[in-house]
Amino acid sequence: MMMGEHFKCLSAIFPIIMRTKDEKKQVLLLRRENTGYMDGLWDFAGSGHVDENESAMQAVVRECREELGITVELKDIRFVHLSHRVGQNGARTYYDIYFLVERYTGEPYIAEPEKCSGLQWFAMDELPEDIIGIRKQAFLSYLKSEYYSEVINF
């Protein structure tokens, strides 16, 4: 880093897409594949990086359309958690921004099959064992109305 240059970090968005079925709240997860990050584990469906010149909420709209084929309106997105993931020993530093999405148009499907090997609704209290640990931690923080957390990556 050159003298006077500020540290830069990445931002990623994680829509927590929820529905109620048979009087049970469910969350939509996808199984990552061929991404180079946590492949084989469950993650929030529709998650991704915030692109240049794009707001975090605009990224939610774009990623949900690209990955799941659903339309999400900005007015239907609600911020619920921010996790500052501090990278060390070569790991990247991220601001992971979590949003609740309970209204959308369309039926979610795997729109990027090269990056996803499964898409499934899970009861909120029955998350799979093989979900990415920091995602589960953020989800539990959301459920407790904790809006901020920090994760140190070693």
pTM to 2 decimals? 0.93
pLDDT of res. 8: 82
Distance, in Å, from the CA atom of 19 to the CA atom of 37, rounded to the nearest integer, reads 27
pLDDT of res. 88: 75
Domains of the chain: 12-153 (3.90.79.10)
8 Å CB contact between 16 and 99: yes
Q: Residue 97: is it exposed, middle or buried by C-beta count within 10 angstroms (0-12/13-18/19+)?
A: buried
Q: With H, G, I as helix, E, B as strand and everything else as coil, classify residue 142.
A: helix
Confidence of residue 2 (pLDDT cuts 50, 70, 90): low
Element (H, E) at 122: strand 116-123
pLDDT digits (tens, 9 = 90+) for 91-147: 788 999 999 999 999 999 999 999 999 999 999 999 999 999 999 999 999 999 999
Token pair belonging to 130: 């093989």
3-state helix, strand, coil split of the chain in percent (to 5) is 20, 40, 40
Confidence of residue 17 (pLDDT cuts 50, 70, 90): very high
* Residue 79: strand pairing partners: 99
